[in-house]
Structure 1
């Protein structure tokens, strides 16, 4: 049981980019982590460390080899004790991880996080027996315990997910070994990747910039700046591509070895099990999106090429602003007013839940040296509250990012009442509230468009975001599938990985694109491939699900808000089929995904009609 930092939405995939916005953005909030701990040497943190060391050992002494003999009330006490252990460990790693992400170049913060990780790995080694022994319980015996005690029966979804791993668990000794070496295995390679990415510097017009600041030029109105940034990104990625290839080779092989020992049927199977989603559902999603490439990305980018006055587009034109798009910066206060308005119009409770994020130091918005790129919402633990990280630049897409991450935050606050074990939402559903929050914000902005030109810019921006969320992420998923399949056959050179990357890029972006030399290395900076293999399909899952949900909302379901809040409050306590049933939706139906994709193609229809 490794307590690494579980970022439910580690990094948004809009190619978020960074430069200083100056005073025009206003007073950007920063985190106050005191609700976790006040300092590395805080007495409360030291006390929790000591408590964990003592109680992890006590847990093993009290329960190892004895689970089969526990009655229902004793089993409940066992589960609740483990839940308390999880909560204290999660609190410590949340504090260590969030401090680290504020400045990944600070050696002291990195050391503190690693020391915490190693200590908790050592303490929780006593807990490895639990899932193994629990999975050996007789089905009828367990069913009897659940029938006898309603409080214990609440944890059935946790037990179901745990027992789904039963066919794939190893011997007690091997599981103990994997646990003990975890902090110097994949986790160490993840840290190497993070520190390397954070330390990369790019030369733009004689100025040394970090990755975020350089990526920001890919959305500049000036095409020459976009091109220069793309070439500079390619240069630096190319200089470091051997290291990135080593990271990917090692992690993919490490996963292949463990998957083989666990008898996983595919590299993706572990992710599907943790997401509590059937492989055929993911396959239906993937196939629906790939089949829709021509009517989505191919069609939209051909339209965009005309707007930009180009016969063919280069990859640095993909996220270019439209010629008629305003370059006005959106201040932080204005961004808050926009999102608050959208949330409040949907339901006042949404705005109320979001308020403390702004006012109590739950958001870190400013761009700072060494700060991790992108954006995420981290739920921490059920008895504290989430924290949101942004790199806010004042662009319209940054407003949507705020809406997205606050959606995660609202979801995490509502689900926290389920408790530590049941609050965590599978990745396939974790994007629901975030994408829905974006959609609410977008629709409010669209309704307020002052003329057809402004409406066109807004529609185009939303289509691009949805293409990045659906098409781009499924292309990423296909790249990962190819990467892991190829690695199973042997070591991959950087050129091998480059070729796999290009094979999905051409297919997904369409014939209007040309690919200048250097773009083949752009897989190197995507953190999902390193931290969370096969995570990316959750974005497409969430977008498709929300598009279908929003269609139900627009149809005027009188009880929609209550059903929606009930869905968020459920956290991880229900399967996706149970959560969607009140809305009349079924993700296992291939037509479900076509319904969501039709919303995107409908927006493209409207854009074409404006020509």
Structure 2
């Protein structure tokens, strides 16, 4: 089976550490230093210095493009080869550059903090700033929650060797982590921890359990390091949130994900009340696996479906391309571009970090997709998901650079919508076998379990962890107990005794992100909102809906999610009934799954 493709990075720089890259980095560092001196000396925004601040903003916008370029390049290289110390060094340097960007952003906020409303509106009305008004207004709003300029600058400087270093440490540790896998035939093999998740999607329960137990043993070896990193990240965030005047630690996440408190409350209320579909999906999955209840490693398990084996990379590309072309031709065209230009790194190999992501550069307008392809239908969906991110970036790049930053919530919408289009394409393809359709329906049921059970576990765990962290450091034993309790609650009686993964807090990459907090509920948001979009697409038709969808993507960096959704799509995201009705619409997938499983698996 083909393992896929290895990305080319030559359109970033012709060679790693070559003259082009070194000159780019040196020039960027020099320009950042000059810019820092200029902006640090500037007086706060007033009617007398608007031209000066306009110049600063435009200069920063150009610097920001270059910052995303080196950050994307370094991040991709380090993820693909965690053993390479030169890549790690560049990742550190790019972290310093990114830290500078955050510092400048805080200085802009500080400059806007005490300007009068009249002065600020006059400033954003200037000809070269009009289209940047949404971003500038967001800075202005956030400026009310800032420390002094000196304190914010110091915080940004310390982030490189303090805060962000914990994330880099976790990346290094996780990338080098291996475990002993005992295969069903008795053979033992040392393999990267990055492959554990894919193995837990294998139809063979003995194999899944072996990977699960082997992976846990590996994470147990580094649990103290992971706990130290997690405590340091959360502790720093809590201290900064208090100093900046946030009322609650979740307020930081709400600001980052650009949604209102009412929106999060409405969505999580609907999810927590959705016990019927949690039970429906969980019992359906357990039944086809021949189980009464589930263990954590059963949730993404593929089925022993007659006629379906591993999919080659070439087969995966054809499946995605056909689905995209049928339901969203523009997405199909974009997908071919991504593959032809070798923007995907999908080969599973030692030293490769776990997980999947899409990284983009505003400097060259390109994206890169990172994953480890092993041939499962889940891997095919992951590829579609990450290409959805890249498509979003290709749409929003029509805007100016600083209006191209969209929040996690809306980022996950485009990626999930791409996954749903893949599923719809397969399910409505008369040439697709029942076996393939059952595979995609299995993935759909897995998605329901993931977004309505798994990710709520992450949200409630992280919330409880932060509450505990406010009182002091939380040791590994307490972290494990919080995770056990949370898993049992969210599985609503579906979890086997001892079937929880008490070390999920250690193995889940997203808990260790230094740039965002609560990197979990945006996935729920994206999954449900994208399903609401598909439900609307079916009602209105592609010709009526897709232009509104692309407008939604284009404006996704221009305000809070609930406002953009209301203006472009007519959705009320602060009404829990919107989310409940969307969840209700998911039941049809489970019913189709049950019917086809009964037919093919002779249940």
> Do Structure 1 and Structure 2 share a fold, with TM-score over 0.5?
yes
Secondary structure at the aligned position of 1:268 is classed as helix
Which residue is equivalent to 2:525?
Answer: 541
Go from structure 1 to structure 2 and tell me whether the alpha carbon gap of 1:124 and 1:52 turns closer, same or farther (over 3 Å shift). farther
Secondary structure at the aligned position of 2:388 is classed as helix
* Cα distance, 1:65 vs structure 2: 2.5
2:245 and 2:102 map into 1 onto residues whose CA distance is 25
Say which structure, 1 or 2, has more relative contact order (CA 8 Å, 6+ apart).
1
* Cα distance, 1:600 vs structure 2: 1.9
Q: Among residues 555, 558, 568, which one is paired with 2:539 in the alignment?
A: 555
Go from structure 1 to structure 2 and tell me whether the alpha carbon gap of 1:50 and 1:128 turns closer, same or farther (over 3 Å shift). farther
My pick for the range that moved more, 490-499 or 407-416, is 490-499
Residue correspondences, number: 585
2:361 and 2:160 map into 1 onto residues whose CA distance is 20
Contact map agreement 1:470 1:539 (CA 8 A) in 2: no
1:399 and 1:136 map into 2 onto residues whose CA distance is 51
Contact map agreement 2:299 2:449 (CA 8 A) in 1: no
Matched, 1:475 2:451: no
1:33 and 1:175 map into 2 onto residues whose CA distance is 34
Q: Among residues 14, 20, 30, which one is paired with 1:44 in the alignment?
A: 20
Go from structure 1 to structure 2 and tell me whether the alpha carbon gap of 1:420 and 1:70 turns closer, same or farther (over 3 Å shift). farther
Which residue is equivalent to 2:474?
Answer: 492
Secondary structure at the aligned position of 1:387 is classed as strand
Which residue is equivalent to 1:506?
Answer: 488
Secondary structure at the aligned position of 1:378 is classed as strand
Contact map agreement 1:168 1:262 (CA 8 A) in 2: yes
Q: Deviations over 1:6-30 (max 9, x none)?
A: xxxxxxxxxxxxxxxxxx226x221
Which residue is equivalent to 1:5?
Answer: none
2:298 and 2:198 map into 1 onto residues whose CA distance is 13
Contact map agreement 1:367 1:392 (CA 8 A) in 2: yes
Q: Among residues 217, 221, 225, which one is paired with 2:203 in the alignment?
A: 221
1:426 and 1:127 map into 2 onto residues whose CA distance is 16
Secondary structure at the aligned position of 1:219 is classed as coil
Contact map agreement 1:382 1:416 (CA 8 A) in 2: no
1:574 and 1:428 map into 2 onto residues whose CA distance is 12
1:471 and 1:338 map into 2 onto residues whose CA distance is 28
Go from structure 1 to structure 2 and tell me whether the alpha carbon gap of 1:398 and 1:126 turns closer, same or farther (over 3 Å shift). closer
Secondary structure at the aligned position of 2:572 is classed as coil
Which residue is equivalent to 2:553?
Answer: 568
Contact map agreement 2:308 2:435 (CA 8 A) in 1: no
Matched, 1:339 2:320: yes
Go from structure 1 to structure 2 and tell me whether the alpha carbon gap of 1:71 and 1:354 turns closer, same or farther (over 3 Å shift). farther
> Map of 1:125-524 to 2, 5 A cutoff?
129-147=107-125, 149-205=126-182, 206-292=188-274, 294-324=275-305, 326-448=307-429, 455-516=437-498, 519-524=501-506
1:126 and 1:505 map into 2 onto residues whose CA distance is 41
Matched, 1:76 2:54: yes
2:347 and 2:575 map into 1 onto residues whose CA distance is 43
Matched, 1:588 2:574: yes
User: Unpaired runs of 5+ in structure 1?
Assistant: 1-23
Matched, 1:33 2:12: no
Go from structure 1 to structure 2 and tell me whether the alpha carbon gap of 1:131 and 1:33 turns closer, same or farther (over 3 Å shift). same
Q: Deviations over 1:82-140 (max 9, x none)?
A: 10111122212222221111101212211222134336657986775333112232211
Go from structure 1 to structure 2 and tell me whether the alpha carbon gap of 1:578 and 1:399 turns closer, same or farther (over 3 Å shift). same
User: Unpaired runs of 5+ in structure 2?
Assistant: 183-187, 599-603
Go from structure 1 to structure 2 and tell me whether the alpha carbon gap of 1:259 and 1:341 turns closer, same or farther (over 3 Å shift). same
My pick for the range that moved more, 567-576 or 193-202, is 567-576
Secondary structure at the aligned position of 1:388 is classed as strand
Contact map agreement 1:53 1:123 (CA 8 A) in 2: no
My pick for the range that moved more, 347-356 or 195-204, is 347-356
1:50 and 1:123 map into 2 onto residues whose CA distance is 16
Contact map agreement 2:69 2:364 (CA 8 A) in 1: no
Instruction: Report the TM-score, using the length of structure 2 for normalisation.
Output: 0.91
Go from structure 1 to structure 2 and tell me whether the alpha carbon gap of 1:374 and 1:327 turns closer, same or farther (over 3 Å shift). farther
Go from structure 1 to structure 2 and tell me whether the alpha carbon gap of 1:119 and 1:550 turns closer, same or farther (over 3 Å shift). closer
Secondary structure at the aligned position of 2:115 is classed as coil
Go from structure 1 to structure 2 and tell me whether the alpha carbon gap of 1:126 and 1:215 turns closer, same or farther (over 3 Å shift). closer
Contact map agreement 1:308 1:322 (CA 8 A) in 2: yes
* Cα distance, 1:60 vs structure 2: 4.4
Which residue is equivalent to 2:185?
Answer: none
Aligned-residue Cα RMSD (Å) equals 2.3
